[in-house]
Structure 1
Amino acid sequence: MNSVTETAGGEVFDEMPQEKKARTDAGGEDPRGSSWAGLQPDALGVVLSFLTCLADRARVRSVCRQWRAAARGRGVVPPLPLLVLPRFRFAGLTPGGVLAPARRAWMPPELDADNACCVGSSDAWLMGAGQAGGECFLVHAFSHEVRRLPPLGTSDCSLRKAVLSASPESGPNCIVAAFIIRWSKPELALWRSGMKSWRVCHHALFAGHIDIAFYQGKLYMLWRFTPCLFTFEITEDERGVAISRMKDCMIEKLLPSAVGSNHELSCNMVEWSGRLLLIIRYYGGYGYQARHRVKVKVFAMDLSTRTELRLTEIHSFGSDCIFVGSGGGKSFPAGQHDGVEGDLIYFGPDHYNPHDAFVYSMRDGRTGPIVRPSPCGTRASERNLGFPVWLFPSE
């Protein structure tokens, strides 16, 4: 199989044509390929074991329902993470730890992907939103299944970031928390399957630069540049899900003063090994053009007590890697891939500094580039379409 096929419209991630093939039943099988459905699962497993390219494995799973079922649990090494760029272009992470040139992904034409922004991900699902209060949707990056969400409702409302409590396939267990800007004010919107509209939450503490994450049934909001953590309980009433019982903590007071003083910093949250991590980038000086990287610190946040937050510094992830980006972060089992090392943190470009993409080693504090050449699509014409979001497809 060829890893990509180039069309007149540019490079695509898989070889699906821009007009999708007709589907004949709910399983999506094409009668012209139905004879292949009888291939023994063990034989298909042997084929899969030789396919190291994510695009090739995605094509195998998309042939028919039987192949999709047979591909599950075949002991195939999980694919490496992808970076989803504006206009739904994918840049694959190579075993050498750098990003390959971006390739356009096929998306269902009814989504108008060229004018939608990707604002979050969960496994192989992407969260997208149209511009100026347009449609919101979830789309599976490889099966191309689409699930519609209510529109934001007004032309002066934009969705900046979204996180999911679980995979959309889990039904009512999946709650979407979206950070939106409406009438020039930051707000938080919640949605769950069955709700006909978003539940918009107003609070004076919602800031323009935040990171949000679900963890152990609660929603956490972190100020990016002045470390302060807010915890919200998830409740439910006749209108759907909502937040309540807020608790806040000024994390900055808990950080070592020798590292945090006189430095600009940027914070993110990532769940790793059952713990919620606080990842802080410390920069020397002020201003993106003049500053240089100083250090990255990682702390496990002990959230077990109601009275105070405790921080424990983490010095190693073992064989795991951590990926941090505009649409959230996730840990990844690097030890399952030849050429990919553990104890690395991959920082993707984000809304606030699109050029600040690098990899950081927890072992020796060294940094290196992950973009060669830059695939970030941060031209002025694309900045309103969001910034790259990490995608973590699973077999």
Structure 2
Amino acid sequence: MMKAAQSRPWSDLPPELLGLVLKRLPSLADRVRLRAVCHPWHSNSRLRTLPLPFPWLTLPDGTLLGIPSGEIHHISLPEGACCQGSIDNWLFLMHNHGVCYLMNPFSKTRLQLPKLAKVWKREIYDPEPRINPIFYNLVVPFPLDSSPCSLLAALIMDDGNWGTLCISQSPIVTDSFRDDKHPAKLLCSVAFFDGKLYGLGGFDQLFIFELDKDLGISSMECIIDSMGELGGIPQSLSEEKAYMIRRYLVECGDRLLMVKRWIHPIARSTSDDFFEHNRTVALGVFEADLGTDPAGWRTVNDLDGHALFLGQHSSKSLRAGECSGYQEDCIYFMCDYSWPKHSANPLRDAGVYNIRNQTFMPLMSGTAAVPPHHAGQWRPTWFFPPEAV
């Protein structure tokens, strides 16, 4: 009789084979499970550069959704903290009494921030405003893990459609202004590119902010004033319908991009959530051509092998080949434009857009969906977990 096959221990798994397994696990949770059963994980994961796992989505109730697995993750945070955004693997947390900070939920490291709501209130005219902040767009010129004392810019948008820009170096405010007092009207997104701070206007203008040695805003210049001949709606859309447009400014490799997102407001329901049935119907990508005089926008038909994650609170581009499960030249988006009083399912208007063939795909399969009722006031944002924990 043939001898029964004997299983070999995980410790005998060849390192090169283990490395291939790790590179094909887009889920951080799956990597943790592999670590639990395979002790050589530590040595192998340190020797090899692992691709980034797929990002998570924060949900209104304070949990995080793993993609594409659909797993719900619970993380331990300080009592009373509410997530209002993120930068990479740092959550932007705010308390009812206005205290703000960035926190890495894995290392528990905190970076204290100014009281941004207080900065916003100081900049508005009305001492008892009827308007309120609705989202915070936070950007830094360098990764926080390598530069924790980095300059930080926060664009605070309110429900009066005005933006307040706050410049800080943790935890001190170095300058701030409100765009209804300056030529930069209706700022909707900010980004650092090549060490400089840029702002996107609500009518497709691009502004550059010069900072002095004390990190105050010394000048602000409009370098692109319109879309020119590129204005209008995509040919695939009907001119007889109305659309809501969202604009995002994001650094992508060696390019500064504006992404325009056309959203069709499908028949309003009886609820007071105006955005309940909205759907994204088109996306357009434009590069800021800063080498011409005057500078202008030009259409982009690829992302140079990158994947782009859109978010009102923070957008991020990553080279797809360095990440697990990402598709190159694709834009990942979700529903993050509902007002804070509505607990929105971020998947109700989510998807993946291939910029090359102009097709939409679902962000997740129908079998992996967010539970329908999520109460809470966390804002939906992308969260990028580390390669391993």
Normalization by structure 2: what TM-score? 0.70
Q: What residue identity is the alignment partner of 2:225?
A: M
Q: In terms of mean alpha carbon deviation, does 227-236 or 67-76 score higher?
A: 67-76
| Pick aligned residue for 1:177 from 153, 167, 190 | 153
Query: Which residue is 1:151 aligned to?
Result: 115
Aligned Cα RMSD in Å?
A: 4.0
Query: Which residue is 2:319 aligned to?
Result: 333
**Partners of 2:90 and 2:34 in 1: CA distance:** 18
**Partners of 2:179 and 2:43 in 1: CA distance:** 45
Task: Indicate if the aligned counterparts of 1:85 and 1:376 stay in contact, CA closer than 8 A.
Answer: no
**Partners of 2:16 and 2:101 in 1: CA distance:** 33
Percent identity, aligned pairs only, is 25
Alignment of 1:19-98 (within 5 A): 50-51=21-22, 52=25, 53-55=27-29, 57=31, 71-72=45-46, 74-94=48-68
Matched, 1:134 2:104: no
**Partners of 1:325 and 1:177 in 2: CA distance:** 16
Structure 2 residue runs of 5 or longer lacking an equivalent are: 1-10, 36-40, 122-131, 268-274, 340-345
Task: Indicate if the aligned counterparts of 1:326 and 1:349 stay in contact, CA closer than 8 A.
Answer: no
| Pick aligned residue for 2:90 from 101, 120, 125 | 125
User: Which stretches of structure 1, 4 residues or longer, exceed 4 Å deviation after superposition?
Assistant: 42-51, 56-61, 67-73, 155-159, 181-185, 205-209, 260-263, 283-294, 336-340, 371-374, 376-379
Query: Which residue is 1:375 aligned to?
Result: 370
Query: Which residue is 1:30 aligned to?
Result: none
Deviation of 1:127 (Å)? 2.4
Task: Indicate if the aligned counterparts of 1:87 and 1:116 stay in contact, CA closer than 8 A.
Answer: no
Q: What residue identity is the alignment partner of 2:166?
A: A
**Partners of 2:357 and 2:157 in 1: CA distance:** 40
Q: What residue identity is the alignment partner of 1:106?
A: S
**Partners of 2:320 and 2:82 in 1: CA distance:** 31
**Partners of 2:197 and 2:225 in 1: CA distance:** 17
- Offset from partner CA, 1:201-253 (integer Å, 9 cap, x none): 233256677111111122122235x322222112232xxx2223212233333
Matched, 1:299 2:263: no
Q: Indicate how the Cα distance of structure 1 residues 258 and 88 shifts in structure 2: closer, same or farther if over 3 A, else same.
A: closer
Query: Which residue is 2:70 aligned to?
Result: 100
Task: Indicate if the aligned counterparts of 1:150 and 1:198 stay in contact, CA closer than 8 A.
Answer: no
Task: Indicate if the aligned counterparts of 1:162 and 1:179 stay in contact, CA closer than 8 A.
Answer: yes
Number of residue equivalences: 333
Q: In terms of mean alpha carbon deviation, does 139-148 or 163-172 score higher?
A: 163-172
- Offset from partner CA, 1:276-308 (integer Å, 9 cap, x none): 111122356887578765432212111235x52
Q: What residue identity is the alignment partner of 1:150?
A: P
**Partners of 2:230 and 2:108 in 1: CA distance:** 44
| Pick aligned residue for 1:199 from 175, 198, 212 | 175
Task: Indicate if the aligned counterparts of 1:235 and 1:242 stay in contact, CA closer than 8 A.
Answer: yes
Query: Which residue is 2:167 aligned to?
Result: 190
| Pick aligned residue for 1:235 from 208, 212, 215 | 212
Q: In terms of mean alpha carbon deviation, does 321-330 or 168-177 score higher?
A: 168-177
Q: What residue identity is the alignment partner of 2:169?
A: R
**Partners of 2:44 and 2:231 in 1: CA distance:** 51
Query: Which residue is 1:348 aligned to?
Result: 334
Q: Indicate how the Cα distance of structure 1 residues 311 and 332 shifts in structure 2: closer, same or farther if over 3 A, else same.
A: same
Query: Which residue is 2:342 aligned to?
Result: none
Which secondary structure state, in structure 2, belongs to the residue aligned with residue 328 of structure 1?
A: coil
Q: Indicate how the Cα distance of structure 1 residues 146 and 49 shifts in structure 2: closer, same or farther if over 3 A, else same.
A: farther
Which secondary structure state, in structure 2, belongs to the residue aligned with residue 236 of structure 1?
A: coil
Deviation of 1:320 (Å)? 2.7
Deviation of 1:75 (Å)? 2.9
Task: Indicate if the aligned counterparts of 1:160 and 1:386 stay in contact, CA closer than 8 A.
Answer: no
| Pick aligned residue for 2:230 from 248, 255, 278 | 255
Which secondary structure state, in structure 1, belongs to the residue aligned with residue 213 of structure 2?
A: strand
Q: What residue identity is the alignment partner of 1:213?
A: A
Task: Indicate if the aligned counterparts of 1:120 and 1:126 stay in contact, CA closer than 8 A.
Answer: yes
Query: Which residue is 2:126 aligned to?
Result: none
Query: Which residue is 1:268 aligned to?
Result: 248
Q: Indicate how the Cα distance of structure 1 residues 339 and 44 shifts in structure 2: closer, same or farther if over 3 A, else same.
A: closer
Q: Indicate how the Cα distance of structure 1 residues 87 and 363 shifts in structure 2: closer, same or farther if over 3 A, else same.
A: same
Alignment of 1:280-291 (within 5 A): 280-283=260-263
Matched, 1:116 2:82: yes
**Partners of 1:253 and 1:333 in 2: CA distance:** 30
Structure 1 residue runs of 5 or longer lacking an equivalent are: 1-39, 62-66
